[in-house]
Structure 1
Amino acid sequence: MTLQQTPAGHPADAESGREPVVRLSGVRRHFGQTPAIDGVSLTVRKGEILGLIGRSGAGKSTLIRCLNGLERPDSGSIQIEGREITKLSEEELQPVRRRIGMIFQHFNLLSRKTVEENIALPLKIAGWTKEKRLARAAELIDLVGLSGKARSYPSALSGGQKQRVGIARALAASPALLLSDEATSALDPETTASILELLKDINKRLGVTILLITHEMEVIRTIADRVAVIDAGRIVEEGPVWSVFANPHTETTRNMLSGIRPNLPPHVAARLVGEPSGEAILGVDLSGPDAGNLLAGLSAELPDGFRLVHGGVDHIQQQSVARFFIGIPPAADALARAIAYLQRHGAKVEVLGHDPRHV
């Protein structure tokens, strides 16, 4: 699947049949001479989960602050549900902000207020009656799995429970967009998995759009529909999660994926040599229906066989994504036949070197 672009650099919205909730065009924000955001164009469509991933300092936090109006971009356009927000006054921004729910890394709960009071606080500020806001809080407490905790205080809650309160509070005013800012990075792996499952369920049940900001590729893999990689204030790669994982185009993306994609074991990489001496080690990437059967077909192609050094088949968004490291024996024309076979089936193949221990 190829991500089609409009002339302005946005994914083609007509293709999805869903209107944009967020549309950024050429957004720039500098602090002194340093560009925090450097010409970002990005679309988040209604009902999708878009993961925005980048290292610390890449521009994620500044981008969030521009989206909710806490920072003003130096140039470019930001539209929320079709409304340009960059020139709005503070008063004019208030109804836009009510359409955006924020989920924070460190929960940002008020310690002297109960669970239901924390959840209902945005509604109190918006002028809802006490009866209506407590009724809404009760609905959300049930939705996020905190039944029986309405009168509890944050000090009595676990980290995961606190984040569930934060999610419920973000949903209080029925926003069109949830901004999740590193919402799981302070949690242990088991709690992280439960929070991501909750966000995925909320997305499906309520149809709410989620922009998920993170530095963890595993979070993107688990929950996002699409991923955009930001580096030095620029979007350097964008596409469906399975496609980016299967074939990352930039060094930034490859480095961020290195912790969760199979890599050639260091002790094998250390002994590889450039000259054709011994077994040729290939790196092979393939996605799609042929991925799971690739090696079986290669066995039939090579009479002298081959060696599986490392790797396997993953499943992302119901797509098979394979990454293998295989050794081809130094038999006559075996390497050429292997490469031809793999490329014929759509695989990306790289000769990484030769292992003199296997001759």
Structure 2
Amino acid sequence: MNQHVTAELADPVNIAAAGQEDVVRLVDLKRRFGATPALDGVSLTVRKGEILGIIGRSGAGKSTLIRCLNGLERPDSGDVFIEGREIGRLAERELQPLRRRIGMIFQHFNLLSAKTVEDNVALPLKIEGRPKAERLARAAELLDLVGLSEKAKAYPASLSGGQKQRVGIARALAARPALLLSDEATSALDPETTRSILALLKDINRQLGLTILLITHEMEVIRSIADRVAVIDAGRIVEQGPVWSVFAEPRSEITRSLLGGIRPQLPAEIAGRLVPGAGAELILRIDVAGEAARGPLLSDLAVAVPGPFRLVHGGIDHVQQQPVGTLFLAVAGDDERHLAEVIAFLKAREARVEVLGHVAGSV
């Protein structure tokens, strides 16, 4: 990929306004299919120049949401604003120019097999009626951007999955959109290719000032690329905020479940021995972030509250340059005063403490 993206590839107006206004604003969006609410009062914004990740399980409402954003689905009620214009009541012919302000990349690429790579990239411009020379020049710029200049005359069948997705990204950028929608764009790719595609999207966001809204069911994707995250469940946004903050202190059960694969969890061997009653040791889960995760928390605890405790699992990670940690401590289970002092000390350091249960014997 060309690391030095030229200014001509970007929309100068978008870059100048980045971060100053909303590209997308949804207000109390509702959509039902029969008795089933696909969207049940969704409100959120996507700011210029940011990457917002929307995550949820299958059936949570993600696909309906993205179809409402690009005008393919009409909400039953609520408002969809794109660059300040409410689109819900626009006629189809009025939607066409607005759709050109929205680029779309798909899970399964959606390339035309009978057209060359450069023709696939140039297709949105052909639909607009742009001259052939302009279309091909733009396609060449974008293929350089995504690192596929040498594949311009190739056909999709000869490309790898990652290369096909790079072509899809180039095509989505052809008309210089204000918003890029990514619908599970890495779900069909292997982990290494996924990392390269996410790095490309982050680079495009940073250098072009392009606003990106990505739909995914993978928290690792959110962690790798998003500035903010919104968690959707049963058609409702149940939690949203900066990625590091949501990772540090997930408030909903669905968010904690989605984070289960990438945040430290109590080892199954210990979790299977937890009991609610008395036991030799008590297991505490401690979540820390920011300044609380930077300092020598356990060393300070040992000095401030003398008494037996042990770290049995956990660690500190970094999300958006912020330290976020989960630690599991075993504390003597028969000394209530010592336990209370340990918990009080940790909470005073802005740690979130959860008592998981006792275990018989040592862990």
Does the alignment reach a TM-score above 0.5?
yes
Corresponding residue for residue 338 of structure 1 = 342
* Structure 1 Cα separation of the partners of residues 162 and 221 of structure 2: 16
Corresponding residue for residue 294 of structure 1 = 297
Corresponding residue for residue 92 of structure 1 = 94
Q: Which runs of 5+ in 1 are unaligned?
A: 1-15
* Structure 2 Cα separation of the partners of residues 21 and 219 of structure 1: 22
State the Cα distance separating 1:289 from its structure 2 match: 1.8
* 1:63-102 equivalent positions in 2, closer than 5 A: 63-102=65-104
Corresponding residue for residue 358 of structure 1 = 362
* Structure 2 Cα separation of the partners of residues 163 and 120 of structure 1: 15
State the Cα distance separating 1:331 from its structure 2 match: 6.5
Work out the percentage of aligned pairs sharing the same amino acid.
Answer: 70
Query: What SS does structure 2 have at the residue aligned with 1:323?
Result: strand
Query: What SS does structure 1 have at the residue aligned with 2:342?
Result: helix
Corresponding residue for residue 110 of structure 1 = 112
Code of the residue aligned with 1:323 in structure 2: it is T
State the Cα distance separating 1:267 from its structure 2 match: 1.1
Of residues 270, 279, 283 in structure 1, which corresponds to 2:281?
Answer: 279
* 1:1-359 equivalent positions in 2, closer than 5 A: 18-292=20-294, 293-330=296-333, 332=335, 333-358=337-362
State the Cα distance separating 1:298 from its structure 2 match: 1.6
Code of the residue aligned with 2:243 in structure 1: it is V
Superposed CA deviations along residues 121-165 of structure 1, whole A, max 9, x for unmatched, are 000000110000100000000000112110011011000000000
Code of the residue aligned with 1:336 in structure 2: it is A
Superposed CA deviations along residues 195-231 of structure 1, whole A, max 9, x for unmatched, are 0000000000110100000000000000000000000
State the Cα distance separating 1:275 from its structure 2 match: 2.1
Code of the residue aligned with 2:353 in structure 1: it is V
TM-score normalised by L of structure 2? 0.93
* Structure 2 Cα separation of the partners of residues 283 and 301 of structure 1: 19
TM-score normalised by L of structure 1? 0.94
- Of stretches 183-192 and 26-35 in structure 1, the one that deviates more from structure 2 is 26-35
Q: Is the 8 A contact 2:277 2:357 kept in 1?
A: yes
* RMSD over aligned Cα atoms: 1.3
Query: What SS does structure 2 have at the residue aligned with 1:95?
Result: helix
State the Cα distance separating 1:171 from its structure 2 match: 0.2
State the Cα distance separating 1:273 from its structure 2 match: 2.0
Q: Is the 8 A contact 2:231 2:239 kept in 1?
A: yes
* Structure 2 Cα separation of the partners of residues 102 and 277 of structure 1: 56
Query: What SS does structure 1 have at the residue aligned with 2:137?
Result: helix
State the Cα distance separating 1:325 from its structure 2 match: 0.5
Query: What SS does structure 2 have at the residue aligned with 1:275?
Result: coil
* Structure 2 Cα separation of the partners of residues 23 and 273 of structure 1: 47
Superposed CA deviations along residues 275-324 of structure 1, whole A, max 9, x for unmatched, are 23211110001111221421221222343342111110010011111101
User: What is the number of equivalent residue pairs in this alignment?
Assistant: 344
State the Cα distance separating 1:17 from its structure 2 match: 5.4
Q: Is the 8 A contact 2:333 2:358 kept in 1?
A: no
